[in-house]
Chain A
Amino acid sequence: MSLQADNLCKAFGNKIAVDHISFDMNEPGVFGLIGTNGAGKTTTIRMILGIMPADSGSASWNGEKISRETLAFGYMPEERGIYMKNKVLDQLIYFGQLRGMSKADAKKSALSYMERLEVSEYRDMQAEKLSKGNQQKIQLIATLIHNPQLIFLDEPFSGLDPVNAEILSRLIRQLTDEGRYIVMSSHQMSTVEEYCENLLILHHGKTVLKGNMRQIKAGYGHTNLIVSSGQDVSAAAEACGLQLLEARANEMEYKIKGDEMANRFLKKLLDDGNYPTKYEIKEPSLNEIFIEKVGSDL
């Protein structure tokens, strides 16, 4: 199974929202669609789903055009769209029925997902009485109720507290283990970094970077050094030409120009009798890569 987007373009009046976006996803997992607000992520997803016509280009699932009729995909929009005045279970059954399920199947599936996401107690409550995080979970159940193979999650983690974020993380892992294909749009880099093997960074509708996450990072080489020590390391770092990126409570992060610079710094620390408790040479974070690619316009 594979998802392919080929040269998708969309303009609203004179504004080009999406400019020749192409990517493919050939195995189950999570694909990251990254960009700032207004970068064109939602428009791209809508075009792939066929709910918004593309000016040019196409999208296909297993070589066939995606539409409501041909593929029972799941889509969780960025803006939460549930009936606030209606009871949770009633509306989930309604969404399931619209997806072609029988009432009994929709109810069974809704209750099953409610249990997995720990919201069973709210089944007969009006959605407006739920917290934002729980409303988000209900929205997610509406997306997954018909057990789609291809799932689009637009900013799934926004508004979730750490406990609920962990529950969602667990579910996403379970879904990928079950062989589902998930396209996740986000501007939270840590989230994407955690789940996505492949990604595409959008900026003003254009692709600025795409590919495998590990390969992209490897391409940048070792650029960061994290040091934690009981003694001050700043004099040694300055002497070795390291540039301070961030001073945190228990550690410092420096920008380095390759492994040789890091090794020279370590040798100086040891020579000075300063023994670090943490010494980690790493690739740049996705956040840094993102800022480097689109930062000049932010």
Chain B
Amino acid sequence: MRQIFIVFQYTLRDAAKKKAFIISTVVILALILVLSLIPRTMSLFSEDESAGSVEESANEETEQNGSGEEICYYIDENELIPSGQQALAAAFPENDVRPGETAKLEQYRKEIEENGEISVVSVTEQDGRPHILVICKDFMSGIDSQLAAETLGNLYTQTQLMEKGLTREEIAAATEPLPLEEEAAGQLDMTGYMLGIIFTMLMFFAVYYYGYGVAMSVATEKTSRVMETLIVSAKPSRILIGKCLAMGVLGLLQFGGVILFAVICCSLFIPEGFQLFGATLSLNAVTPYSALFLLIYFVLGYSLYAMLNAVCGASVSKIEDVNSAMMPVSLVAVLGFYLGYFTSISSSGNGTLQKIAMYLPISSPFMVPSRLLNGGMETGEMLISIGILLISIVLLVIISMRIYSASVLHYGKRQKIWEMYNKKI
């Protein structure tokens, strides 16, 4: 136990002094500071905008009343919808609605191919009714076909009803849309969803970044032959546990520091009641209960992948082989991440895939925390998931320690996993 603590202490101190760690911490903190300053900056701009709104609206009006930059050719040679051109001009004030000719339709098409600000609305007769054709460059440019069809359709209906002898008032009363009122009883709270996504991303980052740290640390000791000095003093298993613990604690400290800094920045810089895309920013989803489980999943998820990465680091004889040795573990981590991520944001609730992702050790650390923050997890389910994760980690620790012990003094050709496992130690 003492040796584990000594390895832990030394590795932690050494890793915390590394430039990569210091730089990554500073960059993350700076990013948080910048992000937390955005809402205040946005509100400053919105104040400026309201001050200059009178001037801007005047300018806009001038632009709209002018000739207009977008052109719409309206073709209705048979007068199927009388006053259709005027109706369109009223519905699309930013467009210059001009009369067009059926004979020039191909020419218009060529122009539209080149210029997205030109469109055509053509009305022809089909089956005794007007048929509306709207031609635009693509669905993102030109005139809004739905609004154009609605405008012309309403006009056609009114004309037909007038022909049937109805007065304008009767027509107006018959075609007036029914009143609709929408009411939101509460505020839109997307924070659990957003925090869930952020936690899943951070979890993957931790697994990858700190796991890489473990693999590199082990590989460096082996390839620089420090392991030969260490191994005569301490059992390989103690070195392995000490190292993994140190990197895990380093990750927790960095994460803890980052979260604390983020909370401070939020309370200092983000205005109260600030909304992002209609959602109020808050940490309501994080309760002591959920924080406890987030911590558990972080520690267990990290431990699972750290053990695998340590074996990867121990299996190489050259430091440049670390990345290729880590490839299988990275693939498993990516698979686990995507499985966990997509099932956690999926709205299909408790499908089979969700159940698999919840209990599968490679994906549960990515999936469960996100679902937990969205209120979609029951304690019983989480306890089963944690139990499976714990059993997997214990098994993995036993296997990893055996492989690690067998491989740390092996140099030369890379061994296969089962060769290392079966090696006498």
User: What is A's interface to B at a CB cutoff of 8 Å?
Assistant: 46, 49, 51-53, 55, 68, 73, 75, 77, 79-84, 86, 94-95, 97-100, 139, 142-143
Contact residues in B for A77 (Cβ distance below 8 Å): 225, 228-229
Bound form: Cα–Cα A208–B392 in Å: 51
Contact residues in B for A49 (Cβ distance below 8 Å): 232
- In the complex, whether B231 has a CB less than 8 A from a CB of chain A is yes
Bound form: Cα–Cα A49–B14 in Å: 29
Whether the pair B225, A80 counts as a contact (CB closer than 8 A) is yes
Whether the pair B14, A86 counts as a contact (CB closer than 8 A) is yes
Contact residues in A for B7 (Cβ distance below 8 Å): 98
- In the complex, whether B227 has a CB less than 8 A from a CB of chain A is yes
Report the nearest B residue to A143, measured CB to CB: B229
DSSP majority for the B interface? helix
Whether the pair B232, A75 counts as a contact (CB closer than 8 A) is yes
Whether the pair A142, B229 counts as a contact (CB closer than 8 A) is yes
Whether the pair A84, B6 counts as a contact (CB closer than 8 A) is no
Whether the pair B224, A83 counts as a contact (CB closer than 8 A) is yes
Whether the pair B6, A81 counts as a contact (CB closer than 8 A) is no
Whether the pair B234, A79 counts as a contact (CB closer than 8 A) is no
User: What is B's interface to A at a CB cutoff of 8 Å?
Assistant: 2-3, 6-7, 10, 14, 224-235, 409, 424-425
What would 4 more interface pairs be, CB under 8 Å, given A73-B232, A79-B225, A95-B230? A49-B232, A75-B232, A94-B6, A100-B2
Picked from B2, B229, B409, the residue with its CB within 8 Å of the CB of A46 is B409
Task: With A52-B409, A98-B3 as known contacts, state yes or no: A81 contacts B225, CB within 8 Å.
Answer: yes
Report the nearest A residue to B227, measured CB to CB: A81
Chain A nearest CB, measured from B7 CB (Å): 7
Whether the pair A68, B409 counts as a contact (CB closer than 8 A) is no
Which of B228, B230, B424 is packed against the most chain A CB atoms within 10 Å? B228
Whether the pair A51, B229 counts as a contact (CB closer than 8 A) is no
Whether the pair B231, A98 counts as a contact (CB closer than 8 A) is no
Whether the pair A83, B226 counts as a contact (CB closer than 8 A) is yes
Whether the pair A51, B225 counts as a contact (CB closer than 8 A) is no
Chain A nearest CB, measured from B22 CB (Å): 14
Report the nearest B residue to A94, measured CB to CB: B10
Task: With A52-B409, A98-B3 as known contacts, state yes or no: A68 contacts B232, CB within 8 Å.
Answer: yes
Whether the pair A53, B424 counts as a contact (CB closer than 8 A) is yes
Contact residues in A for B225 (Cβ distance below 8 Å): 77, 79-81
Query: Can you pick out 9 interface pairs between chain A and chain B where the beta carbons lie within 8 Å of each other?
Result: A46-B409, A53-B425, A55-B424, A79-B225, A80-B225, A81-B226, A81-B229, A84-B224, A98-B234
Picked from B2, B228, B235, the residue with its CB within 8 Å of the CB of A68 is B235
Chain A nearest CB, measured from B21 CB (Å): 13
Contact residues in A for B425 (Cβ distance below 8 Å): 53
Task: With A77-B228, A79-B225 as known contacts, state yes or no: A51 contacts B233, CB within 8 Å.
Answer: no
Whether the pair B228, A98 counts as a contact (CB closer than 8 A) is no
Contact residues in B for A98 (Cβ distance below 8 Å): 3, 6-7, 230, 233-234
Contact residues in A for B2 (Cβ distance below 8 Å): 100
Picked from B3, B10, B14, B409, the residue with its CB within 8 Å of the CB of A51 is B409
Whether the pair B6, A97 counts as a contact (CB closer than 8 A) is yes
The 6 closest A-B pairs by CB, nearest first: A81-B225, A77-B228, A79-B225, A98-B233, A81-B229, A81-B226
Whether the pair A51, B231 counts as a contact (CB closer than 8 A) is yes
Report the nearest B residue to A74, measured CB to CB: B232
Chain A nearest CB, measured from B403 CB (Å): 15
Whether the pair A82, B409 counts as a contact (CB closer than 8 A) is no
Chain A nearest CB, measured from B423 CB (Å): 9
Contact residues in B for A46 (Cβ distance below 8 Å): 409
Whether the pair B232, A51 counts as a contact (CB closer than 8 A) is yes
Contact residues in A for B409 (Cβ distance below 8 Å): 46, 51-52
Whether the pair B228, A81 counts as a contact (CB closer than 8 A) is yes
Contact residues in A for B229 (Cβ distance below 8 Å): 75, 77, 81-82, 95, 139, 142-143
Chain A nearest CB, measured from B411 CB (Å): 9
Bound form: Cα–Cα A257–B165 in Å: 144
Contact residues in B for A55 (Cβ distance below 8 Å): 424
Contact residues in B for A73 (Cβ distance below 8 Å): 232
Which of A82, A83, A98, A139 is packed against the most chain B CB atoms within 10 Å? A98
Report the nearest B residue to A103, measured CB to CB: B6
Contact residues in B for A84 (Cβ distance below 8 Å): 224
Which of B2, B10, B227 is packed against the most chain A CB atoms within 10 Å? B10
Whether the pair A68, B234 counts as a contact (CB closer than 8 A) is yes
Chain A nearest CB, measured from B220 CB (Å): 8
Report the nearest B residue to A81, measured CB to CB: B225
Report the nearest A residue to B14, measured CB to CB: A86
Chain B nearest CB, measured from A93 CB (Å): 9
Chain B nearest CB, measured from A191 CB (Å): 21
Report the nearest A residue to B233, measured CB to CB: A98
Contact residues in A for B228 (Cβ distance below 8 Å): 75, 77, 79, 81
Whether the pair A95, B231 counts as a contact (CB closer than 8 A) is no
Contact residues in A for B235 (Cβ distance below 8 Å): 68
Bound form: Cα–Cα A42–B424 in Å: 18
Chain B nearest CB, measured from A87 CB (Å): 10
Bound form: Cα–Cα A77–B228 in Å: 7
Contact residues in B for A143 (Cβ distance below 8 Å): 229
Report the nearest B residue to A84, measured CB to CB: B224
Bound form: Cα–Cα A81–B424 in Å: 24
Report the nearest A residue to B408, measured CB to CB: A51
Chain B nearest CB, measured from A38 CB (Å): 12
Contact residues in B for A142 (Cβ distance below 8 Å): 229
Bound form: Cα–Cα A25–B270 in Å: 76
